[in-house]
Chains A and B, each alone.
Chain A
Amino acid sequence: MVRKGTRIDYVRRPYVTMPSLNTRGPQFAAWALGALTAVALAGSVYRMPIQVSDSLEVIQRVIPMPSATAAFVDGLYNSPTMLRPLKEVRTRLLVQAGEAFGGRYHLVFRGYHAIAGAMLIALFVWVCRARSWTDVAALAAALLVLTGMHTFVGLFREAFPVNHYLIVAVSTLATFALAQSRGGWLVDLAAIVLLTSATLSFESGLLVWPVAVAAYAAGLRGISRRGVAVMTLLVVLYAVFRVGYLGKHGAGVGERGTGFGAGALTESEQIARFGNRPSLLYAYNVTMAATSVLLSQPQVGRFTVATAWNNGQLPPVFIVQIGSSILMSLVIAWYVLTRGPSASKRWREPAVLTFFAVLAVSALMSYAYAKDEIMSTAGVFYAVVAYTAVRGLLALRPPTWVGALLVLLAMVASSAWAVRSAGLHLRLRHGAFEARAEWAYILSPLGKDNWPKDPHVLQVVSRMRQEALLQPTITPALLPRWTEEWWGED
């Protein structure tokens, strides 16, 4: 229930556009759009085979472990840089669930991924809180922004065997939803559990903390001051445990290749150029990571548009991606830099402040190398703030000629994001093709020496292989050339 006239009411609904006397219709429409988007996503995600690279090795490692606790402990110590014990636990639980379903590992692993995607969409619809028909229009466009962002693909195209970037995105969005709630000790507890589980699944899970802090700073009180304080303490303890006790270190210059300018730098090239002054490379990576969310370039640190331009042709994919991002970022910039109807500073609104916090922290996490997936949570909050800004735009009362221009731009932007959103599914088809191709080399009759020695592991891998290889997928070589021109090379 909304406490009208209080500060909480104001920050929850910072910009009320077209209040409907009856909000049930718009709410139903909003959830229907969310459900349709989730079904579309689930269909593409579920039809992808379980991945081999960075995934099968984890599955094989956890199967012989005696318990989930053993998997957790293994996750504490199995890498000098990574601390992801819940990844191991989750993998083990999924394997056991697959066995409980009679060896239907595809159902469990891919179903888990698809359901997690549906949860992300549901949380997105929840935090947007569409209450009027104009809100629903804004939400429809925002759902396309969410699924059309180039960073969104990374949440679904790969799984190791679970996509931990998706776990982080779901956890951060759930934390924001908790911050929007009426609060209470259960909400605080839920936020703490989300932070703990996300952080122990993947380092980027720390993003839950800036979301809680930014939401609190913007006036949301769903997570109390005490809750935020406990979360802050947990982050400090995590840092002490990770660095002080386990002795894990972060990535440095030359640990993996990264995009730079219009090209890419290998590990040795990075050391040669930036070994003595790594801060230059770090500054480039951080600023370009943030820019990529706002402008769709560079991607993975590379200005691929410059390469295309130098090659003498600019395929439509660049015009659609960059053009739609510029349009949407301009709307967001207009919204952030103006004031609301009650002269309130919009940049202090919860969605806006949280987006900038997530963008900044995600960019900082990209300091050592560029990777679009690291920015995936920022991409999700970009869509949230896009929804807020578009709602603000719909509430304008412009002169007729400006209104006509805005209608035209709205049509162009929505259509461009629609093209991008469809491209997500094409990329997932490519992912399915690649994932299945990898299985052709597993348990190959040519390399029986490499087969798992443990009979239980062999049985599980054999069944997974059978399920994966029987999945029909597209053959990218047979796709028409225009798909590459509109959605890019894979």
Chain B
Amino acid sequence: MRGTTILMAIALAVPAAGTIVVLAASGTMALVRGQPLLWPAQQVTLTEAIGMHDTGEIVRQIALGADPNIRYDTWDILKRYQHVSVTPLEAAVATRERYLFEMIVAHGALVTPENARTLHCFAVQEHASDIAAYLADRFPPPASCDGVRLPW
């Protein structure tokens, strides 16, 4: 076998075999441990999932016991390079997506006269007019947002 043939075979085989081995290791981990080595699922909080419109993750976390009525830390999603602590409903208001708001309510988040005022004022501030209308249909809109403590 000539040197050129050997070198060409090595040039073809080394990147190929290396890639195949790495991908196989990743696939094995996916089958055995449930998570691949390459591009595994990232850990996110419930409000981060809401901020990224990840409906599957939202329902998954609530199904696994996440409380839709408490605050969660949210990093670099609702506010660029900032930690914010918000409830799932506030996170939904920040996305301005009514379907997310309704989905979280349907999965157990409570809209009460107490938090409706905050949510309404926050929706007005964030220009989430659909969600503001949703809240206005259920609770009288507050006359003023003075003194209401908003997430930001």
Q: Using a CB–CB distance below 8 Å, which chain A residues touch chain B?
A: 18, 33, 36-37, 39-44, 46-47, 133-134, 136-138, 140-141, 143-144, 390, 393-398, 400, 403-404, 406-408, 410-411, 413-415, 417-418, 421-422, 425-426, 429, 433, 436-441, 444-446, 466, 468-470, 472-475, 477-479, 483
| Most A Cβ at <10 Å: residue of B24, B34, B52, B55 | B24
Q: A422-B23, A469-B63 are in contact. Are A43 and B30 (CB under 8 A)?
A: yes
The answer on a CB contact under 8 Å between A433 and B2 is no
The answer on a CB contact under 8 Å between A475 and B103 is no
Task: Assess whether B143 is interfacial by the CB under 8 Å rule.
Answer: no
In the complex the two chains form, what is the Cα distance from A424 to B8 in whole Å? 26
Task: Assess whether B142 is interfacial by the CB under 8 Å rule.
Answer: no
Q: Using a CB–CB distance below 8 Å, which chain B residues touch chain A?
A: 1-5, 7-21, 23-24, 26-31, 34-36, 38-42, 44, 49, 52-60, 63-64, 77, 102-103, 106-107
Residue contacts A-B, CB under 8 angstroms, 6 given: A43-B28, A140-B12, A437-B56, A439-B59, A440-B55, A477-B77
Nearest opposing residue in chain A for B57, CB measure:
A475
Report chain A residues within 8 Å CB of B16. Answer: 137, 140-141, 143-144, 414, 417-418
Distance from A461 Cβ to chain B, minimum over Cβ atoms (Å): 15
| Most A Cβ at <10 Å: residue of B1, B3, B34, B57 | B57
The answer on a CB contact under 8 Å between A394 and B57 is no
Report chain B residues within 8 Å CB of A433. Answer: 54, 56
In the complex the two chains form, what is the Cα distance from A473 to B20 in whole Å? 22
By DSSP majority rule, is chain A's interface helix, strand, loop, or mixed?
Answer: helix
Report chain B residues within 8 Å CB of A470. Answer: 60, 63-64
By DSSP majority rule, is chain B's interface helix, strand, loop, or mixed?
Answer: helix
Residue in B12, B31, B57 whose CB lies within 8 Å of A46 = B31
Nearest opposing residue in chain B for A43, CB measure:
B27
A-B pairs under 8 A by CB, number: 186
Distance from A41 Cβ to chain B, minimum over Cβ atoms (Å): 7
Nearest opposing residue in chain B for A444, CB measure:
B106
Q: A411-B11, A475-B52 are in contact. Are A425 and B36 (CB under 8 A)?
A: yes
Q: A394-B5, A414-B16, A446-B102 are in contact. Are A440 and B52 (CB under 8 A)?
A: no
The answer on a CB contact under 8 Å between A425 and B52 is no
Nearest opposing residue in chain A for B18, CB measure:
A418
Report chain A residues within 8 Å CB of B38. Answer: 422, 425-426
Report chain A residues within 8 Å CB of B52. Answer: 475, 477-478
Distance from A369 Cβ to chain B, minimum over Cβ atoms (Å): 30
The answer on a CB contact under 8 Å between A407 and B11 is yes
Residue in B21, B27, B41 whose CB lies within 8 Å of A472 = B41
In the complex the two chains form, what is the Cα distance from A143 to B13 in whole Å? 11
In the complex the two chains form, what is the Cα distance from A408 to B4 in whole Å? 11
The answer on a CB contact under 8 Å between B31 and A36 is no
Residue in A40, A42, A137, A469 whose CB lies within 8 Å of B20 = A40
Distance from A379 Cβ to chain B, minimum over Cβ atoms (Å): 18
The answer on a CB contact under 8 Å between B11 and A478 is no
The answer on a CB contact under 8 Å between A469 and B19 is no
The answer on a CB contact under 8 Å between B12 and A137 is yes
The answer on a CB contact under 8 Å between A441 and B35 is no
Q: A47-B34, A425-B26, A475-B44 are in contact. Are A439 and B56 (CB under 8 A)?
A: yes
Report chain A residues within 8 Å CB of B13. Answer: 136-137, 140-141, 414
In the complex the two chains form, what is the Cα distance from A41 to B24 in whole Å? 8
| Most B Cβ at <10 Å: residue of A134, A138, A413, A469 | A469
| Most B Cβ at <10 Å: residue of A44, A393, A438 | A44
